[in-house]
């Protein structure tokens, strides 16, 4: 039996497939094409995901972003999907899908929240992503927060779901593992990069340097030819300027 790696819920995650034939953290994988540097290609029956072996496996609340390209016109069970699979590997359950393709031949994409009802049957709610082109790479994002799931494509909000939002492990629920799959011969999925940022973790803003101390203007020197030079006054001015700026001048 494979050992589930211990991954802290609140640790950022990044993977970009820049080592050939290396699944990295996606150790549960099958039928994946690694032949192109920096990406994986899924066709036919293929997929890869992090190992799901218990409620704490995977990650919890936070922002998940996958750079990927869908091709083909059918999804659901017979197509491609970017998924967050339940950490306890139980389904029906809290499967969260960053993106799938509608089975109506339009190429439209959508995000989904799944849950099991009181009888253990799969239920779901989805949001259609309008004006998102199939066949090109996009950044697909899912933000998992307490009581809200937000979908984004290329940084633009494409849908929000507030019902049946699961709790993560730290909040008394279970985490989800990152994965992607293709379950048909008329669709394919290419993935280049995967990122996860825990909820509340942000890059600190740069602190601007303090303003430079104002340098006093040099004291004027009376150079009128008829006025005797007051050497003591000039010396006092030079000393005052040095004390203020660190430079000797009059």
Q: What is the tens place of the pLDDT at every residue in 20-54?
A: 667 889 999 999 999 998 999 999 999 999 999 89
Res 211: pLDDT: 58
Largest CA distance in the chain: 108
- Of the candidate ranges 67-76, 84-93, 191-200, 202-211, the one whose mean pLDDT is the lowest: 202-211
Q: Which CATH class is domain 13-198?
A: mainly beta
Percent of the chain's residues with pLDDT above 70 = 76
Q: Work out the pLDDT band at 239, boundaries 50, 70, 90.
A: confident
- The CA distance from 222 to 100, in Å, is 82
Determine if the peptide bond prior to 92 is cis (ω within 30°).
yes
Q: For residue range 171-188, list pLDDT tens digits in order.
A: 999 999 999 999 888 889
- The residue ranking higher by pLDDT, 90 or 226, is 90
Per-residue pLDDT, averaged over 184-207, amounts to: 79
Handedness of CA 97, 103, 107, 108 (dihedral sign): negative
Q: How many residues belong to the chain?
A: 250
Q: For residue range 212-232, list pLDDT tens digits in order.
A: 555 555 555 554 445 565 666
Q: Of 123, 63, 119, 64, nearest to 93 (Cα)? A: 123
Q: Work out the pLDDT band at 249, boundaries 50, 70, 90.
A: low
Q: What is the mean pLDDT of the chain?
A: 83
- The CA distance from 224 to 154, in Å, is 71
Q: Across the strands, what pairs with 129? A: 109
Cβ-based burial of 208 (10 A; exposed 0-12, middle 13-18, buried ≥19): exposed
Is 102:123 a contact under the CB 8 Å cutoff?
no
pLDDT above 60 (res 116):
yes
Handedness of CA 184, 190, 195, 199 (dihedral sign): negative
Q: Work out the pLDDT band at 106, boundaries 50, 70, 90.
A: confident
- The CA distance from 137 to 123, in Å, is 29
pLDDT above 50 (res 204):
no
Res 98: pLDDT: 97
Domain residues of the chain, as ranges?
13-198, 212-250
Res 214: pLDDT: 55
Per-residue pLDDT, averaged over 178-204, amounts to: 87
Res 3: pLDDT: 42
- The CA distance from 112 to 124, in Å, is 7
- The residue ranking higher by pLDDT, 144 or 73, is 144
Res 206: pLDDT: 41
Res 2: pLDDT: 40
Res 7: pLDDT: 45
What is the DSSP pairing of strand 13-15 with strand 148-153?
A: unpaired
Predicted TM-score (pTM) of this structure: 0.76
Is 168:175 a contact under the CB 8 Å cutoff?
yes
Per-residue pLDDT, averaged over 115-139, amounts to: 94
> How would you write 151-211 as a 3-class SS string?
EEECCEEEEEECCCCCCCHHHCCCCEEEEEEEEEEEEEEEEEEEEEEECCCCCCCCCCCCC
Res 208: pLDDT: 52
């Amino acid at each position: 039996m494979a050992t589930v790696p211990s991954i802290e819920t609140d640790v950022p995650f990044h993977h970009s497939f820049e080592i050939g034939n290396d699944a990295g953290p996606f150790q549960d994988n099958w039928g994946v094409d690694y032949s192109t540097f920096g990406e994986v290609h899924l066709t036919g029956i293929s997929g890869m995901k992090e190992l799901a072996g218990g409620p704490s496996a995977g990650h919890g609340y936070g922002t998940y972003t996958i750079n990927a390209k869908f091709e083909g016109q059918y999804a659901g069970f017979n197509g491609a999907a970017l998924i967050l699979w339940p950490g306890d590997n139980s389904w029906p359950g809290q499967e969260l899908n960053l993106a799938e393709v509608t089975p109506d031949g339009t190429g439209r994409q959508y995000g989904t929240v799944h849950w099991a009802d009181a009888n253990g049957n799969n239920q779901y709610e989805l949001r259609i992503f309008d004006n998102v082109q199939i066949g090109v790479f996009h950044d697909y994002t899912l933000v998992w927060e307490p009581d809200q799931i937000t979908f984004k494509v290329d940084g633009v909000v494409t849908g929000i779901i507030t019902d049946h939002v699961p709790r993560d492990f730290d909040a008394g629920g279970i985490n989800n593992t990152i994965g992607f799959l293709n379950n048909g011969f008329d669709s394919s999925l290419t993935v280049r990069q995967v990122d996860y940022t825990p909820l509340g973790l942000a890059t600190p803003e740069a602190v601007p340097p303090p303003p430079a101390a104002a340098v006093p203007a040099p004291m004027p020197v009376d150079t009128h030819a008829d006025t005797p030079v007051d050497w003591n006054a000039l010396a006092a001015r030079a000393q005052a300027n040095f004390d203020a700026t660190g430079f000797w001048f009059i």
